[in-house]
Amino acid sequence: MGEWCYRPPGGEAFTDVAVRVGQFISDLGRAAPGRRVLVIAHDGVVIALRYVISGIGAIPPEELPPVPNASVSHWNGDGHRLRLAAWGDTAHLTSLDDTEGMTHA
């Protein structure tokens, strides 16, 4: 799995991140059952989250589409399982333009 398994000196591999994400999901399920949760994270964590939630037979992480900066990925729960509803959505960014006082660097 190449990059997914590579562990840089002093760092962690994406597989290590996936293990932590799996534990996070388990802990979250006990701490906030049935509640809506917002998680803000770097793209590597979002990719690991998708991979872990998808379970056995998931698309290999290196084949997943990229996670754009400032994007929103969304899962819906049915009380038993989470299902991907949106991946890397950036529609909320299209309403920003220079007429609203925003400047681009």
pLDDT of residue 27: 95
Query: The whole model's pTM is what?
Result: 0.81
Average pLDDT over residues 44-64: 91
Architecture of the domain made up of 2-89:
3-Layer(aba) Sandwich (3.40)
Residue from 69, 63, 37 nearest 50 by CA: 63
Could you give the maximum distance between any two Cα atoms of the chain, in Å?
47
Examine the pLDDT at 81 and tell me if it is beyond 70.
yes
Other C-beta atoms within 10 Å of 44: how many?
A: 15
Where along the chain do its domains lie?
2-89
CB-based contact 71:94 (threshold 8 Å): no
